[in-house]
Amino acid sequence: MTIWTAVNEELARWTHLGRRCPLWLRDDDAVAASAQLDRLLKRCAQADIPLGLAVIPADAEPSLAEVLAGHAFVTPLVHGWSHTDHAAPGRKKCEFGPERPPEVRQSEAERGLSTLRGLFGDQLLPLFVPPWNRMAPDMPARLSASGYRAVSAFGPSPAPCDGIAWINTHLDLIDWRGSRSAIPLDALLDLLCRELRDRREGRRNPAEPIGLLTHHRVHDAAIWDLLDRLLDRLADHPALEWPAIGKLGAGRLG
The whole-number pLDDT of residue 17 equals 97
The whole-number pLDDT of residue 250 equals 56
Counted residue by residue, the chain has a size of 254
15 membership: H or E segment, kind and range: helix 5-17
DSSP letter at 91 equals S
150-175 tens-digit pLDDT: 999 999 999 888 899 999 999 999 99
Give dist(CA 214, CA 173) in Å, integer. 6
Given CA atoms 217, 218, 224, 226 in this order, what sign does their dihedral have?
negative
Which residues fall within 8 angstroms of residue 16, CB to CB, at 6 or more apart?
A: none
Q: Is the pLDDT of residue 113 over 60?
A: yes
Q: How confident is the model at residue 251 (pLDDT cuts 50, 70, 90)?
A: low
CB atoms within 10 A of CB 108: 21
Give dist(CA 127, CA 152) in Å, integer. 7
The whole-number pLDDT of residue 3 equals 87
The whole-number pLDDT of residue 2 equals 79
Q: Is the pLDDT of residue 1 over 60?
A: no
Question: Angle at Cα 237 formed by Cα 216 and Cα 55, nearest 5°?
Answer: 25
The whole-number pLDDT of residue 144 equals 97
The whole-number pLDDT of residue 252 equals 55
Q: List the chain domain ranges.
A: 22-247
Which CATH superfamily is 22-247 part of?
Glycoside hydrolase/deacetylase (3.20.20.370)
pTM (global) more than 0.85: yes
190 membership: H or E segment, kind and range: helix 185-200
Give dist(CA 50, CA 217) in Å, integer. 19
Which residues fall within 8 angstroms of residue 35, CB to CB, at 6 or more apart?
A: none
The whole-number pLDDT of residue 159 equals 87
CB 149 within 8 A of CB 157: no
- DSSP, collapsed to helix, strand or coil, labels residue 30 as strand
Give dist(CA 115, CA 39) in Å, integer. 26
Q: Is the pLDDT of residue 70 over 90?
A: no
201-227 tens-digit pLDDT: 999 999 999 999 999 999 999 999 999
Closest CA to 72 of 44, 99, 94, 34: 44
Percent of the chain at pLDDT exceeding 90: 94
